[in-house]
Structures are given as C-alpha cells and as structure tokens.
Amino acid sequence: MHLRSIVRHRTVLSTSLRILQSYTPTVANQAHYHQRILPKPITRTSIPIRRYLATNAEQATVESVPRVEKHQFQAETQQLLHIVAKSLYSDKEIFIRELISNANDALEKLRYVQLSAGGEQVADDKREIYLYVDDINKTITIKDTGIGMTKKEAIDNLGTIARSGSKLFIEELKKDKTTTDEGKIIGQFGVGFYSAFMVSNSVEVVTRSYKKDEPGYRWTSDGSGSYEIETLIDDVERGTSIRCHLRDDCAEFSKEETVKQIVKKYSNFVSAPIYINDVRVNNLRALWMEDAKSIKEDEHTEFYRFVSGQYDKPRYTLQYKIDVPINLRALIYIPQYKPNIFDVTQESDVGVALYSRKVLIQPKANQLLPRWLRFVKGVVDSEDIPLNLSRELLQDSNLIRKIRLLLSQRIIRFLQEQSKKDKAKYQEFYEDYKLFFKEGIVRTADQGEKEDIAKLLRFDSSREEHGNLISLEEYIDRMVPEQKHIYYLAGPSRELCENSPYYEAIRQKGYEVLFVYESHDEVLLMQLAEFDKKKLKSVESELETDTKKDDTILEGDARSLSQDEANQLKQWILKQFGDKIKNVKINTKLDQHPCIITTNEMGAVRHFLKTNLLQRNKQQEIYKVLQLNFDINPKHTLIKKLYTIQKSNNTELANMLCQQLIDNAMVTAGLVEDSRLVLTGLNKLLEKVLEKY
C-alpha cells in the first residue's frame, strides 16, 4: 500500500504541473504569477525533466541514481569561468549563439561517426536542434539529437573550461586520413558552453552518448566553483540538453519572441533545423554556399535585403569562392541606391557580415574590408578564420590582412570587368560612388593598393567629348611614343580648362590631357603620384620644368619682340618686381595669352593656400612664400605694349600694367582665393589710361 500511494502521488503531481504550466494567468500582475501559485521553489528531484531529451514527444520523467558525485573546478578553471561570465563576451545574447553552435557541432560529430569507415552505426538519423522557453519559470532549454557525451566526456568537456571537446575531436579526425570534413566542427565546446553562466543562476545538462549501453547523465552547476554529476536510471534519448535557470535581470531570454530574433540574427543559416517551441525558425538558405548558377535574381534580391536592411535591389552581384591559399566564401552586393552626403562622410561600419560555417560571428566585420569599401553589402564565410575564446574577436592579424587583400582585389577586378562589359552602366555607378574610390587612394599608404583602386577612376579627356570618361589604363594605351608622363589639368570646368594658357602650351606637343574639376581631385592625383610606372604630372609643373631656359625667338618674326627686346623687358620686370617674382622667362609656346605663372608643384601650392589663412590676411606675403616664375609671351600685344611703355620712361603706367598682368596670371593659376583682391589695381590702371579723356 505504501508503494502504491507513492506512485499515485507522483502521477497527480505530474498532471498538476502540466496543467499549471499550460494555464494562462488572469491576475493583474502576471509577472509575479508563478510566485503566487508556487510560493516555494520546486526542487529538481520533485518534478519530471520536461523535454530534456524528447523532441516532439510527451513530457518524460527521468529518475536518477541517489548517489551524486561532486567535483571541484580547478583553480585556473574558476578564474577562466569568471572571465567568461563577466567580461569575455560583449553582448549577453551571444550565449544562445554559442549553445546553438555547440549543438550543431554535436550533430556534425554524429554525422562523422556514421560516415567514418568502420564507425558505429546509429539507428536514429534525425539531426535537429530544439529550443524551449518558459517565461514563468525563467528558463531556456537548448537541446540537440547529436552525439551526446559519456560520463568521462562530460567531466572533461564541461568540467574543464580550458579543454575543448570539438577541438580534440578535430585533432582526432585529422589523424584519420579517411575523413576530409574536419572543418565542419564550428567551435570550442568547453568555452562556448560556459557563456551560459553570463545569464544563469544555474545550468543543468542532461546527456546520453550515441554509444550502446551508455546511460544518461545529469551535470549541474551554479558556476561558483563546483559541479555535480549523477547517473540517470531511466532510458533517455541520444543527445544533449542544456537548461539555463536565468537570473532576474536576464529574464528576457525566456521570452519566445526575443529568442526567435536572436536565432534569426546569429544562427539563421545553420544547416540543422532549429525549432523554438516546436516551430522551425531558420528557413533562409545560405546562398553564398550554393552554386552561383542555381540562384535566381529574385532570390538574390531577397537575400540582399535581408543582409543590408535596404529595400532597393543590388546593382552588381559578386559570388566568390576559393579554397587556396585559404578557404573563403563571399557573396557581395553593390546597392542600387545613390549614397547621400551622410553615407559618404560619416564613419559608418563596413556592410559585410562575417560568418564561420554559417554561424554569424560579426554583423559588421570592419577588419575584412578597407574603410572605402563600406558601401559594399554581403556575407563573408571562412572556415580558416581563427577566433578567440568568445568567437567575437579575430586574433590572427596576418590571416585577416590576407583575406582583406584578397577580397578588395577581387572586388576591384570584378568592377573592372563590369566596366568593360557595360560601360554606360559602370559610368552611372562611378558617378554615384566615385568619392569612395578617391577616399581609398588618399587613406591608403601602400602604393600598390593605391594603383589598384585607381584602376576604377574615370576622367574627362581632351581627346574625348565632354562626359565620355576614360580610365588611366586607356590613357596609357594611347600615349604618343615620346611621352613619358600622364598629364592632367585642374580647373572649375572643361571650358576653362580648354581655354587655359597651360593647356594651350602643352597642346602643341600633341599630348592628351586629363581634366579634373573638383579641388580634391588635384590632391588625389598628388597622393597617387604614379600609375603603372608613369608619373602623374600637372601641365603647370611640366611647363615649369620645360622652360628652365628661355625659348629662342625666331629672327625676323614681325609679330614678336626681338630676342634683345625680350631680354631687356625681362631684366626690367625682374628689377621692378623682384620681391614678387623669382624669375622671368620667355615662353614662345603661348599663343592667345600674354603670360602665365609657373612654380614647382602648382597643385600643392594651391592646396596650401586654400588651407592657410595667409592670403586672406596678408596678400603680399604670398609672393615671399611662393617661388614664382613669370613666363611672358613675346608675341602678345600687351607684352609688346609693356616694352614700349617702359622704354618711354612712363614708369608709373608700366608698373601698373605689369602688376596687373602678374595679378591676372595669379588668378588664372588659381593662386588667388578671392579674385576681388585684384580689382583695386585694375581700377587704378583704368583711371590712369583714361586720364586724357
């Protein structure tokens, strides 16, 4: 009678518990409902273990042997446990990712056992992951139908934090030459498992190995320094179930919607089905692991919107797979939308997510792409990426640099291919994203990387219609035989560039000139310096180098001053304006313009003046700082008139005219930030000329 009463009591208690757990409270304060109904906590031995090892089965009751073994963590293990629980992970929700990854590891291990030669066969081939949440009792359970653990494995893998069950398993696989898929095991079970203590007061593990005649075991610990392990009497299903009794401040992880969002964020592409309260949640395919030819355009659009959070379509799609020198899978998208000024200027994160065997490691992997490629969206997955203990921080900088270089070079090469495939489409893309390319050249220190990015640049050319842009490679292909450098000219517009005295002088040589219209373009080309062993030179610098000596004036040329007259005028200008002009040269290459200012590195001088307050406050100081050369055109009417006036001893008018010519040349060279500064001298010159009238 006594035994029958005990059985009846247990049956009633089990039934009552199911009713209470399925009942929805109507009391005003539902948050404290379980405290009102159950004022005393239910102990582990007084309730059945709910769905620890059952997937879709009814609630099972598991009895344990009365003897419980208690073990102490090693001293260093306790210290590491404290680090894991308190500071190793940057976000508490990571523990769900870790436990799911470990569950997937267990499923993969079971698969290897089944596939290995002479391996022990398993009757039940079901490989699934189940999550159960209970917001009344503040618990979350993660269960797998994987390989499970023996008592020794549970003590080794759970009782020693520095020991990694998955890591040891891979090492064993590598010794066996018949297996080739050892990279499928994701993580380090010992460490990932202990992330549960970030959020839990205590953790219970129920496990049974796939090996025949192995009993089940329950492992429990509150993370304070010891753990208990006990043998279970009743038969339990193969696999491992981890139940976390959550702390009050982490109760959010017992809510179904919260857990569902975390699973979708980190583990959406895990190959094993993941169920939350028996409803599958990971339905998306890992497109980057599939054959590119099998993926439809609408599938790419859907996936792009998932990874980018945008609602447009991808403009370009690049799927990239390599196995040597490293294993790498990448699916890269370039958005259709045109970036605004905030997208270009703000220090936003790179839009590429880092996965390791379909498990999210970093949603914004800034280490994998240079900053200038932050407009790129997509996924990068590599089995070779080394992770630190928490899977969150990458620790092998050499390998990361190699991946970064491979990815950036592949993206650049892909864009080059697209520019040749559809020039009009690429030019439209370039107009939208060119500022990112220019930023990359300016920020990058390595010359090789600069030149790689420069392959994407496009320029207006003196040989092409306005708007028909060319690349630097195209420019080099059509250089004239004696040409050694790539020439460019900076100006506000094409019209001003074509009418520039500097372009006028270089055009006579038959050289093609690239026109750049933005002030930062000049800085960009100075930073680039050379391309394909050809120096980039502004035509102003070329003229300064080309006219170190005076040009020879042809004798008998009635349109021009003679050589003696030009030399006399040179000496007079240098005497009168020696405080402003370093040297005066005769330049016969000029045609429509009377004079020009030349100096070494004109672009750098312009940039200096624009970023310096010198000319705004002390215009006269410019001439002392700059080493200016004044080139005169002996054929031009104004230069011939200047010679005549200074010879007639009308010194005041000659000085005023020469000063105005210098000022005009300074404006043309872009060395005067505010052209209104020269108007005073111009007005005085006009007054002087019109005195007789």
Partnered with residue 497 across adjacent β-strands are none
The response to whether 240 counts as a known ligand-binding position is: yes
What length does the chain have? 693
Question: At residue 80, what are phi and psi to the nearest 5 degrees?
Answer: -65, -35
Question: At residue 74, what are phi and psi to the nearest 5 degrees?
Answer: -65, 155
The response to whether 121 counts as a known ligand-binding position is: no
The residue whose two tokens read 């990239």 is: 320
Question: At residue 72, what are phi and psi to the nearest 5 degrees?
Answer: -100, 140
The response to whether 102 counts as a known ligand-binding position is: yes
Classify residue 618 as left (phi > 0), alpha (psi -120 to 50) or beta. beta
Tokens at residue 111, please?
A: 């698969």
DSSP 8-state assignment for residue 484: -
The response to whether 189 counts as a known ligand-binding position is: yes
Angle between helices 256-266 and 94-115 (to 10 degrees): 60
The response to whether 591 counts as a known ligand-binding position is: no
Q: Which residues contact 516 (CB under 8 A, 6 or more apart)?
A: 459, 460, 488, 489, 490, 491, 522, 525
The response to whether 567 counts as a known ligand-binding position is: no
The response to whether 137 counts as a known ligand-binding position is: no
- Angle CA 577–553–541, to nearest 5: 60
The response to whether 128 counts as a known ligand-binding position is: no
Q: Report the DSSP pairing between strands 460-461 and 129-134.
A: unpaired
The response to whether 378 counts as a known ligand-binding position is: no
Task: For 46-67, give one letter per residue: b (16+ CB within 10 A) or e.
Answer: eebbbbbbbbeeeebebebeee
DSSP 8-state assignment for residue 190: H
Q: What is the dihedral of CA 7, 9, 11, 14, to 10 degrees?
A: -130
Determine the straight-line distance between the first and last CA of the chain, rounded to whole angstroms.
Answer: 138
Tokens at residue 593, please?
A: 């313009």
The response to whether 188 counts as a known ligand-binding position is: yes
12 burial (CB, 10 Å; 0-12 / 13-18 / 19+) is: exposed
The residue whose two tokens read 């994407």 is: 456
The response to whether 191 counts as a known ligand-binding position is: yes
Which of 44, 383, 21 is CA-nearest to residue 222? 44
Strands (E), 382-463: 460-461
Binding residue numbers: 98, 102, 144, 149, 157, 164-165, 188-193, 240, 391
Binding residue numbers for ATP: 98, 102, 144, 149, 157, 164-165, 188-193, 240, 391
